[in-house]
Structures are given as C-alpha cells and as structure tokens.
Amino acid sequence: MEKLAVTKNVRIAAGKARQVARLVQGKGAVEALNMLSLIPRKAARIIEQTLKSAVANAENDEKGGVARTNLVVKEALVGEGPTMKRFQPKARGSAGHIRKRTSHIRVLVSDENN
C-alpha cells in the first residue's frame, strides 16, 4: 500500500529542501522521522511535517492501516512552486530584482512488501 502527502507553496527554495529530502529517501519511516528531528534546518521541519502526514494517512486507511514500523519512505520529491517577484530600490533610481522562491514537497510512503 502506498500513501501520499503533499505540502504546497512552502516558503523555502527547492534546492535547499532537496538536500534534506535526499537524506530520508529509502529509509524506514521511524528512522527518517528520528533523523529529521535532529537536522537543524528549516527544510527538515517542513519535510518532517509532511512525512508525519503521510504516515498518518497510511495508519488510518479505511481498508486497514499499516503499522508505522512497516513503512518505508519510497520517494521524497521537492519541486519548484511559484516565485514571488519583488523589487528593492538601488542607486540612481534603479531597482534590484528579488525572487522569493517557494516549493512543493511530496512524500510517498509504502509498506515493505512492495
């Protein structure tokens, strides 16, 4: 059984979040949650929240839940979301571009039988 959790429009650059997502891919769900709680990055808190949601989706399934210890993080993907464009005043009347990037985070958990 596979269960998915998606967090959209998170205010973090996708490249920064991908570094953390690569660490948990392929690990057991319990091990990944423990690892994420120890990583001192903003992306780790966001991915941990999404992973907890995916685990809860698998545990509380209508057709019969799966124990948390049997789940594996099958994939943890971070895609680029919409970019907010802002301007900052610069010298001699010009303007500097500021891009505030967002991300979409997708975590898929599966039981080990698959």
Phi-psi region of 63 (alpha: psi -120 to 50; beta: other; left: phi over 0): alpha
pLDDT band at 112 (very low <50, low <70, confident <90, very high): confident
What the chain holds in terms of domains, given with CATH numbers, is 2-111 (3.90.470.10)
Report pLDDT digits (tens) over 59-68. Answer: 998 888 899 9
Phi-psi region of 35 (alpha: psi -120 to 50; beta: other; left: phi over 0): alpha
Name the least confident of 13-17, 37-41, 97-101, 108-112: 108-112
Report pLDDT digits (tens) over 68-98. Answer: 999 999 999 999 999 999 999 999 999 999 9
Report residue 68 as tokens: 């948390």
pLDDT at 97 (0 to 100): 97
First-last CA distance in the chain: 8
